Chains A and B, each alone.
Chain A
Amino acid sequence: MKVFSNTCSFNYSWEEVSAANWQKYCPWNEKSTHVTAVDTLSRRVDEETGILRTERLITCKQSVPEWLKSVIGCTDTSQVLEVSYVNPTEKTVTMVSQNITWANLVRVQETVIYRPLSATQTQFEQAARITALCGGWQRIKNSIEDSLVSRFKENAMKGKEGFECVLEMSRRVFAEERERERLRSQGKMMV
């Protein structure tokens, strides 16, 4: 098993980050073109705790290393189940993702937590555990795990840049929306 972890922060409030998080993989994010679809599978609010639990299916088109293609007999599409928990009292968003494609060969489980650092800053904490399951050769297991760890490293940087774009755009759109509402209510008062 190999572990990858990464922490960074965003200069946006937790509320902004948690809302923009639902749109992380949209056309505003030019760095995540490998995500081709995001589907919501279930969603509910727990009555007791107020926690919003969501299941999403993320579809990716990944360029898989050539040597790995020959091992797994490849398809270019892979899918991930992401279960997220928004805790409005503690102000945390926790997302646990696991691969459903090639799940009998390798198990990747990633946990991401967003929590406020201050009123205007949010911390992003990411940890992934990668375990190759194929029996036998330790060398092959190691190369599969290493290859996925370096993929995580590459994507972490791109992920931050891409999400920054989404945050900026959604702040702009929200501001425009508020302005429209303000004008609308002003208009009403004039009449």
Chain B
Amino acid sequence: MSASLAPECNEVKERYDTCFLKWYSEKYLRGNGKADNNECSKLFENYQKCLKVALEERGIDKLLAEAREDNKENDAIHMKRK
């Protein structure tokens, strides 16, 4: 599993990644996975709590906000919304 940019988040990240990978291949790809409130949700929350601080400290949150703005048209194309 790959590392987090914030070493202090590695442990919570690894726990989430492992859970997600299992969910993805065993449930999602077989057509019975929902992303909200599944077995990995709590682990994701813990990971995000740690990561959010790290992104703010490094000023990455602002760069991300700009990039997301640019990505809106891709969302429209790839989410197949009418």
| Residues of A in contact with B (beta carbons under 8 Å apart) | 15, 18-19, 22-23, 25-26, 35-41, 43-46, 49-53, 55, 57, 59, 79, 81, 83, 85-88, 94, 96, 98, 100-101, 103, 174
Can you sample 26 A-B contacts with CB below 8 Å?
Answer: A15-B29, A19-B21, A19-B24, A19-B25, A22-B20, A23-B1, A23-B21, A37-B2, A37-B3, A39-B9, A39-B13, A39-B51, A40-B20, A45-B28, A45-B35, A46-B79, A50-B31, A51-B80, A52-B35, A53-B75, A55-B68, A79-B60, A96-B71, A100-B66, A103-B63, A103-B67
Q: Are B5's CB and A37's CB within 8 A?
A: yes
Chain A residues, Cβ within 8 Å of B5: 36-37, 39, 57, 59
Chain A residues, Cβ within 8 Å of B29: 15, 18-19, 88
Known: A39-B51, A53-B79, A57-B5. A101 touches B63 (CB 8 A): yes
Q: Are B2's CB and A38's CB within 8 A?
A: yes
Told that A15-B29, A83-B71 touch, could you supply 6 new A-B pairs with CB distance under 8 A? Answer: A22-B17, A23-B2, A43-B20, A44-B36, A45-B36, A81-B64
Chain A residues, Cβ within 8 Å of B71: 81, 83, 96, 98
Interface string of B19-45 (1 = CB under 8 A from A): 011001100110101111000000010
Least Cβ–Cβ distance between B11 and chain A, in angstroms: 14
Q: How far is the CA of A50 from the CA of B27 in the complex (A)?
A: 13
Q: Are A39's CB and B21's CB within 8 A?
A: no
Name the CB-closest residue of B to A56.
B2
Q: How far is the CA of A38 from the CA of B74 in the complex (A)?
A: 21
Q: Are B64's CB and A100's CB within 8 A?
A: yes
Q: Are A43's CB and B80's CB within 8 A?
A: no
Known: A40-B16, A100-B60. A25 touches B2 (CB 8 A): yes
Q: How far is the CA of A22 from the CA of B2 in the complex (A)?
A: 10
Chain A residues, Cβ within 8 Å of B2: 23, 25-26, 35, 37-38
Known: A18-B29, A88-B31. A26 touches B67 (CB 8 A): no
B57 interfacial contact with A, CB 8 Å: no
Chain A residues, Cβ within 8 Å of B35: 43-45, 52
B56 interfacial contact with A, CB 8 Å: no
Q: How far is the CA of A81 from the CA of B5 in the complex (A)?
A: 13
Q: Are A49's CB and B21's CB within 8 A?
A: no
| Most chain B CB atoms below 10 A, which of A26, A100, A101 | A100
Least Cβ–Cβ distance between B52 and chain A, in angstroms: 9
Interface string of B51-82 (1 = CB under 8 A from A): 10001000010011011101100110011100
